[in-house]
Amino acid sequence: MLLTFIDGNQNDKEKEFVVGMAKYLGIEDAESAALISQAEHRARRNLQLL
């Protein structure tokens, strides 16, 4: 997730990639939405480290 925010922004193509990876891994939609939300929060918080 952090790599999709490397430029400080996550565009639609990057969001689609993350959702596609979750589907590829067989993670159900409800669970993946929660995981993606948590990961986005962590990525935004950690951007200052880059």
Chain segment 1-50, per-residue pLDDT in tens: 778 888 878 899 999 999 999 999 999 999 999 999 999 898 888 887 76
Q: What pTM does this model have?
A: 0.77
How many structural domains does the chain have? 1
CA–CA gap between residue 8 and residue 28 (Å, rounded): 28
